[in-house]
Structure 1
């Protein structure tokens, strides 16, 4: 009975993924009729309708959506069980869930995701593009990519996979109106575009002539929780931004932004991967980290 129940769940998942009984049945080696009967038996046993059926479309009911999400967890648990036996050298498969910074994810990681999917056809990927610091354990992510964030959770593992130069920059229109700061101390008289969210707030640090790190003070009239929004605000002439060069290099080259205090030593911005501490890291996670190091590490 357990085997039959699991097969019916797998058929239901395949039908939802494919969007039809015909394609879902084919994915499971079944006819349309057999796939429909399997889903009906599952609904009868659960005492709940999982799918709304019309002659042309299928859609999940509220109960079906909850059951589908739990099914994803079951499949992920099966993948984890296989990975724990196969070890880290196994073939990547299953669902890889990522949370990545919005602009970095779209500008830098999307090309890597294409390479990864082409290399490992048995992997599916879900990505949350957000500058919010997600709780990766609570929210069920396999891996978080963060910009310059220090991991203080002993249950999580951190690895630096890339470094980028960070620069101060502002629009020519801002410099023309407010003047160009010539020292770090002069920033106190300028509008500085700081990153700020409910959980964290950015501060700017630079190395002085004596080699010590000093915190830069500046007016903070506009704070934003998105790196790309900060870039857009800087281009619009709303203040001075401190951003990694992958985000502003094209704007500087095009003259939409100009570097401020170019001789200032700001250090590198680290790109960090963070994942739950496990004895054996799933192949799908390990191979994605390796790809990031290979492609971005230089």
Structure 2
């Protein structure tokens, strides 16, 4: 078990960014952790950290080892819980990452119901539109839209998202209603700035069975979906937005869908999590709620 303690010392140090912070967390001396990491580096024959007087940062070899340690230690935790007979309980902490608007409108109400059914469940929720590294950032579960890029993750599809082209009645009365893709070039575009690239998200359509992508000139650019909805309501132009974000506005006539026959294909919405780990009951409770909603 001495070797395991060295890996634990390494993992805690990597997580906290310094021997002192890690030592405070685990209740031991920072010199003890430093010596354990040195012994681990010696036995592996690689350098795991770049060290300064104030902090430590992972080397490329350290990054690879840290990712593997996260998965292995998570399984050990689950095995320990199983042996202790606590796997029947949904109590414990679950860290979930999700897109901002979809998280607020769809996931938060669902999780509120899950917590009502399982009062011992503790949730740490991160709402952001950029992608995170689940293993590196210690995220148990993430909600993602579109095709899964990371093959090391398991994805459970539980919903879909369709992009709708919309505008307000006042805007259409002033500028006219486009009936073709070509006509869109004469209109004012409200575009979304993608958080991962900083670029404008293009408009997507299906025409005659083929995918079509347009890059309209931006008259207004936002990095927030709800802000785009508000801009469209204020008559500032045409926006392409997920269906769940404009359902109420379309239903009561405050927004109008344009070119509905050219809607792009629906994109999957999935719950994703690291593949090489057992699923504790708290995770299964949330996944079951998502897939049955």
Which residue of 2 is the match for residue 172 of structure 1?
169
Which residue of 2 is the match for residue 205 of structure 1?
204
Which residue of 1 is the match for residue 119 of structure 2?
121
Q: Distance in 2 between matches of 1:130 and 1:243?
A: 17
Which residue of 2 is the match for residue 289 of structure 1?
287
Which residue of 1 is the match for residue 240 of structure 2?
242
Q: Distance in 1 between matches of 2:230 and 2:215?
A: 22
Query: Is the aligned partner of 1:277 residue 2:275?
Result: yes
1:127-142 → structure 2 map (5 Å cutoff) = 127-142=125-140
Q: Cα distance 1:277–1:99, how it changes in 2: closer, same or farther (>3 A)?
A: same
CA contact (8 A) 1:196 1:225 kept: yes
CA contact (8 A) 2:161 2:244 kept: yes
Which residue of 2 is the match for residue 255 of structure 1?
253
Q: Distance in 2 between matches of 1:136 and 1:279?
A: 13
Q: Distance in 1 between matches of 2:256 and 2:229?
A: 12
Q: Distance in 2 between matches of 1:162 and 1:143?
A: 16
Q: Distance in 1 between matches of 2:217 and 2:152?
A: 37
The Cα shift of 1:183 comes to 0.8
Deviations 1:175-224 (A, max 9, x none): 12322111122222323223223414523221112x11111232223222
TM-score of the superposition, structure 1-length normalised? 0.66
Q: Distance in 2 between matches of 1:144 and 1:103?
A: 14
Q: How many residues are aligned here?
A: 224
1:1-298 → structure 2 map (5 Å cutoff) = 80-82=78-80, 90-148=88-146, 150-200=147-197, 201=199, 202-209=201-208, 211-295=209-293
CA contact (8 A) 1:185 1:216 kept: no
Q: Distance in 2 between matches of 1:198 and 1:247?
A: 18
List gaps (5 residues or longer) in structure 2: 1-23, 30-69
Q: Residue 90 of structure 2 aligns to a residue in which SS? A: coil
The Cα shift of 1:86 comes to 8.2
Q: Residue 219 of structure 2 aligns to a residue in which SS? A: coil
Q: Residue 222 of structure 1 aligns to a residue in which SS? A: strand
Q: Distance in 2 between matches of 1:135 and 1:271?
A: 18
Which residue of 2 is the match for residue 17 of structure 1?
none
Q: Distance in 2 between matches of 1:194 and 1:86?
A: 53
Q: Cα distance 1:81–1:171, how it changes in 2: closer, same or farther (>3 A)?
A: same
CA contact (8 A) 1:195 1:227 kept: yes
The Cα shift of 1:168 comes to 0.9
Name segments (4+ residues, structure 1) moved above 3 Å.
Answer: 76-87
Q: Distance in 1 between matches of 2:274 and 2:232?
A: 36
TM-score of the superposition, structure 2-length normalised? 0.67
Q: Cα distance 1:234–1:86, how it changes in 2: closer, same or farther (>3 A)?
A: farther
RMSD: 3.0
Q: Cα distance 1:176–1:145, how it changes in 2: closer, same or farther (>3 A)?
A: same
CA contact (8 A) 2:90 2:280 kept: yes
Q: Distance in 1 between matches of 2:257 and 2:100?
A: 23
